[in-house]
Amino acid sequence: MAMAGGSNEDEIIDAINITPMVDVILVLLVIFMVTANFLKKESININLPKVASADPNTSKSVQVALTRDGKILLEGQTITEEKLVAQLQRDLKFRPNMRLTLSADEKLSYGTIMKLMGVIRKSGVTRVALSVKK
């Protein structure tokens, strides 16, 4: 009679519970979606001028790029001159010795590059380096 009480240990499992597997897959999907936004960088097509030697410390500075068609990019994001000045002034408050590296296409005129350097100087940044290809 002890068996009549009903123990379910010997029953055959006829269904698989997939809920935990779906939960894990959804969590992984969310993680991949969030990190994909951080990994995506806009591809900037700039032909840098070539020189015999270059400064190896450009990775520690703020990156500003000027494309052949005149677009200004701050850390890979398109920005206007006014917003560039405002952003650099904000950054300069937290990093007074901030260094900026300017990358410009080699086909741009000297005047165009100097105009952007004037905008950068207007924001208060005094340490400006030009990016080149070694």
What are the tens digits of pLDDT across the range 72-120? 888 888 888 888 888 888 888 888 888 888 888 888 888 888 898 888 8
Q: Provide the pLDDT for residue 4.
A: 53
The answer as to whether 15 is a domain residue is no
State the pLDDT confidence band at 1, using cuts at 50, 70 and 90: very low
In a domain, 52, yes or no: no
Other beta carbons less than 10 A from residue 96's beta carbon: 7
In a domain, residue 29? The reply is no
| Interatomic CA distance for residues 77 and 62, integer angstroms | 12
CB 84 within 8 A of CB 66: no
Does 65 reside within a domain?
Answer: yes
pTM of the model: 0.55
Confirm whether 124 is domain-assigned: yes
> How many structural domains are present in the chain?
1
DSSP state of 4: G
> Is 109 part of any domain?
yes
DSSP string, 52-93: S---TTGGGSEEEEE-TT--EEETTEEE-HHHHHHHHHHHHH
Q: Is residue 122 assigned to a domain?
A: yes
CA distance 101 to 52: 18
Look at residues 108, 130, 107 and name the one whose alpha carbon lies nearest to residue 117: 130
pLDDT in tens, 43-81: 566 655 665 555 555 456 888 888 888 888 888 888 888
CATH of the domain at 121: 3.30.420.270
> Could you tell me if residue 77 is inside a domain?
yes
Parent domain of 115 = 58-130
